[in-house]
Amino acid sequence: MKKNRRLSAGFRAAFEGFRETLVFERVFRVMLAITLIVIGAMLYFPTSRLEKVVLLASIFAVLVLELINSVVERIMNFLSPEYSEQARIVKDLMAAIVLLASIGAVVIGIIIFSPYIVNR
């Protein structure tokens, strides 16, 4: 029974964290909107199973990295409430990681969807 309670508490904490993200992280909400568009396109066009897997892996990679970015930003704000050049650098590096993953996801999306769009 104790393990079930811990598991249940863990899931509650995870869902609370997700709710916190949805409420306070605007960029994450934008990314979720884009995710819905991509999933809609993935279901509309006759994408292969492999294409779906690649698209979903790209989506989840970007979303996970954005969550990590949000966590790092909050940690940096907690550790350094006043302006800090080091904190700014860490935040900028995290933003660059998310940007790079997002660019990669866009390129993957273009590679996968362009033949379906061009041949319409």
106 has a pLDDT exceeding 90: yes
CATH number for the domain that contains residue 14 = 1.10.287.3610
| Reported pTM | 0.90
User: Please, are residues 100 and 54 in contact by the beta-carbon 8 Å criterion?
Assistant: no
- The Cα 117–Cα 45 span in angstroms is 9
Total number of domains in the chain: 1
- Residue-number span of the structural domain to which 45 is assigned: 2-118
SS3 assignment, position 83: coil
The sign of the dihedral angle between the CA atoms of 107, 108, 111, 115 is negative
Buried b (16+ CB within 10 A) or exposed e, 62-85: bbebbbebbebbeebeeeeeeeee
65 has a pLDDT exceeding 70: yes
- The Cα 48–Cα 33 span in angstroms is 23
38 contacts: CB under 8 Å, gap ≥ 6: 55, 59, 109
For 67-96, write each residue's pLDDT tens digit: 999 999 999 999 999 999 999 999 999 999
For 3-48, write each residue's pLDDT tens digit: 788 889 999 999 999 999 999 999 999 999 999 999 999 999 999 9
